[in-house]
Structure 1
Amino acid sequence: MTPATPSSPSRLASEAADESRVLPIIEERATIRREVVETGRVVVTKRVHEADEQIVVPVQHDEVHYERVPLNQTLPAGAVAPGPRQEGDTLIIPVLREVAVVEKRLLLVEELRITKRQVTTEHTEPLHLRREEVLVERLPPREPSAAS
């Protein structure tokens, strides 16, 4: 447009329309998606191993040995009957009997000697034992198929 030329009204309307033209402004926006991607595979295998073993177990038990010792001793008149007593590992139990003489007295017939001792023996016990083993094998990812 030059200032020297007179403008026609249709030309002025056309220029005003050009000046009010809307220019689109472009804006980019990010869209985030998640997708499952196979990066590898594993195969886990569990095996059970079984074995029979023999174990030796110490076993303790008590054995009692007794012995009768004849004494046949007459106790003095008015004596108190002896009671059981302990000598080391041996328990001594007096066995008495009353006898009639002109006067009544106690006759120590015998002593019963009981000894207890602990005996250890070995006993073998069969056992069935199990042991688990786990194997982990890494595999590469599968190739994507054409159908996917």
Structure 2
Amino acid sequence: MGPQDETLHTDREERVIPVIEEQVHVNKKVVESGKVRISKNVHEDEVLINVPIVHEEVDVQRIPINQYVDQAPPAVRYEGDKMIVTVLREELVLVKRIKVVEELHIINRKIEDHTTQPINLRREEINIERVQNDEPDPR
């Protein structure tokens, strides 16, 4: 720096330049803008349904045998789904013998029937109704 530079510094006047910054402050407020009324209606409808119902029936066939046996009475036996029960009778003779009189052939059958039954089913229906707010909008 020379002598001219010193005079320039002394002749200068100092200025202050303000620096400005903007800031934002946001406030929120909850405002009721309306109301909602909800109602529910329950409707009951009768419907017909087809329901299978199973029951069992027993067929008994009487088969005459009329044979004498010398041993103990035969036990109950099975042939497939058929149960065979021997029916015995003692007869008085000079010699006592066992005679097979008949056999019962029992067949167990399953029978499925369909029947119609009324059943009540419920369903719900929702109704929504908007209710206006009486307060003015603050916006």
State the TM-score, normalizing by the size of structure 1.
0.66
Gaps of 5+ in 2: 1-28
Among 50, 71, 74, the residue aligned to 2:68: 74
Q: May I ask how many residue pairs the two structures share in their alignment?
A: 111
**1:45 Cα deviation (Å)?**
2.1
User: What whole-Å deviation, never above 9, does each CA across 1:55-102 have from its counterpart, x for those lacking one?
Assistant: 1110000110001000100113xx121111111111110001112222
Query: In terms of Rg, which structure is larger?
Result: 1
Whether the aligned pair in 2 keeps the contact of 1:57 and 1:124 (CA below 8 Å) is: yes
SS in 1 for 2:127: strand
Question: Any idea what SS the aligned residue of 2:134 has?
Answer: coil
Correspondence for 1:58: 52
- % identical equivalent positions: 45
What is the Cα-based RMSD across aligned positions, in Å? 2.4
Q: Which one has the bigger strand percentage?
A: 2
2:84 equivalent to 1:113: no
The equivalent residue for 2:85 is 93
TM-score computed with the length of structure 2 as normaliser: 0.70
